[in-house]
Amino acid sequence: MFLVTAEEMQNLDKLTIDQVGIPGVVLMENAGLQVVKVIKEILGEVPGKQVAVFAGKGNNGGDGFVIARHLLNMGAEVKVLLNGEPADITGDAKVNLNILQNMGQKIFTINNSNSLNIVKLTLVYTDLIVDAVFGTGFKGAVNDHMGKIISLINESGKPVVAVDIPSGLEANTGQVHGPCIQATHTVTFGLPKLGLTIHPGKEYAGQLHIADISIPPDLVKKQNFNKFLLTKELVAQMLPKRHSQGHKGDYGRVLVVAGSEGLTGAAVLTSMAVLKSGAGLATLAVPRSLHDLMEIKLTEVMTKPLPETEKKTISRDALEEVIALTESADVVALGPGISTEPATAGFVRDLLPELNKPVVIDADGLNALAGSLEVLKKIEAPVVITPHPGEMARLAGIKTEEVQNNRIEVAREFAANWCVNVVLKGAETVVAGVDGSLFVNSTGNPGMATGGSGDVLTGVIAGLIGQGLAPVRAAAAGVFIHGYAGDLGALEKGQAGLLAGDILNLLPKVFRELEGA
């Protein structure tokens, strides 16, 4: 599913009006009806219910007027509270305001301090609140007066349905710079806005409903949007199909370079995730002293011992052996559990420019690049990096807080500057492609913040690349699948006790579901 900025959606609306010939007032009517449909689901029986519609002066307010009219016709007791003066309303919104007034509906203005008592009294008796004050064009912070009203709404404890976007939320960034409506439901029109899918906007939106307002699908396709919300349907379309005459070599050979003393689990989890994501063959290269242990733990994975340091980490002397191993591989997964030993970090920096196969770099593989990013420019093969916010901060030379406050911008800028596909992990994992594409994940939960979870993700992405997916698509599909497995695990066991091994073992179930999607 496409994600759009406010400007992209406004342009799409304009094209629908100008090129297709659907009048703006019809789009407004369709939008209002879709919100009413959600309100009916929340309230059940509408007749006799009290609904407060808070409306602004723009088209968002116009949607609110449509909603108020239909609820009135259904027998609800509706109170319309306008943040402005009726004389300020123009265009399609004015058409719908006039209809309401012709029906005898009183409009209460709430744009001054004297109106707070009206708001307070309204909120006591209302069954549901409609937020149609500010639309997707809003930026910055609401004024003090409207901020007080928003706070009263949030404190009321009543269900709130936001029209297109919660008032006070920036549609493009998901950022909030003052009071913001805490919606229980948000009905957004046409396509989901980027800010509704990422932190903190996602939390303010509540349950997100994506409403069809009759924008033709062919018109949407012509826009070449390159931002996507990852859904089951989209990911199912990405996955490779297995053919009846296939053999293990057809489904990818993955080389995993991982592990050190005390961090053997990372190597095991990554290697097994490769296989459980559908790859045909997995080879694990580990420090020599760990080889026997890996042979015992991993029945289905081939293992190769590598020269090691005194601290039982991969030595720089392993370079030629690993390069030779890559010749028979389709993709390399590098970094899980290899340690921050200086000699091992040197091995990583020496190896990367020699690779001619796609590589997924994670964990200590990324730490080896901090301060040495020029190595990335020397890699001719496609690269996927999978940093968590702290690793991203070290790579970019900024604070973790800056990463978290600007996740999309940081990921896209790093991808463009260093020609790598970036998987910025965390709540709503973001995938930024070298080609400018962007994917926002919709799966996952806090229970996945557990040791080894990222190693499983690395294995899934590498396994999908091995099966022929383009690296950015493998990364996008991988984060969705990984998060979905985590969600299934949380349903079965709860979030607190969720382990990386649980996520690993649920991967086949996720793939089976996606095959039927």
Residue 140 assigned as binding residue: yes
Nearest to 53 by CA among 98, 88, 6, 100: 100
Residue 337 assigned as binding residue: yes
Peptide bond preceding 200: is omega within 30 degrees of 0, i.e. cis? Answer: yes
Residue 60 assigned as binding residue: yes
Residue 63 assigned as binding residue: yes
Q: What is the DSSP string of 123-138?
A: HHH-SEEEEESS-TT-
What's the DSSP call for residue 278? T
Residue 136 assigned as binding residue: yes
> Radius of gyration of the chain from Cα atoms?
27
Residue 199 assigned as binding residue: no
Residue 151 assigned as binding residue: no
- Tokens describing residue 512: 């089976």
Residue 435 assigned as binding residue: no
CB 507 within 8 A of CB 276: yes
Residue 425 assigned as binding residue: yes
CA 157, CA 142: separation in Å to the nearest integer?
Answer: 21
> In Å, what is the CA distance from 219 to each residue of 30, 244, 436?
18, 38, 21
Residue 13 assigned as binding residue: no
Q: Which residues contact 505 (CB under 8 A, 6 or more apart)?
A: 276
Residue 487 assigned as binding residue: no
Residue 21 assigned as binding residue: no
Residue 11 assigned as binding residue: no
CB 463 within 8 A of CB 278: yes
Residue 45 assigned as binding residue: no
> In Å, what is the CA distance from 204 to each residue of 52, 53, 182, 190?
19, 18, 5, 19
CA 92, CA 257: separation in Å to the nearest integer?
Answer: 61
Parallel, antiparallel, or unpaired for β 383-385 and 77-82?
unpaired
Residue 426 assigned as binding residue: yes
Residue 18 assigned as binding residue: no
Residue 388 assigned as binding residue: yes
Residue 127 assigned as binding residue: no
Residue 500 assigned as binding residue: no
Task: Count CB atoms within 10 A of the CB of residue 495.
Answer: 16
Residue 178 assigned as binding residue: no
CA 332, CA 338: separation in Å to the nearest integer?
Answer: 14
Beta bridge partner(s), residue 78: 51
CB 47 within 8 A of CB 73: no
Residue 377 assigned as binding residue: no
Summarize the annotated binding site as residue ranges: 59-63, 131, 135-141, 164, 167, 266, 337, 388, 425-429, 454-455
Q: Which residues are annotated as a binding site for AMP?
A: 425-429, 454
The binding site for K(+) comprises 60, 131, 167
Q: Could you list the residues known to form a binding site for (6S)-NADPHX, using ranges.
A: 59-63, 135-141, 164, 266, 337, 388, 455
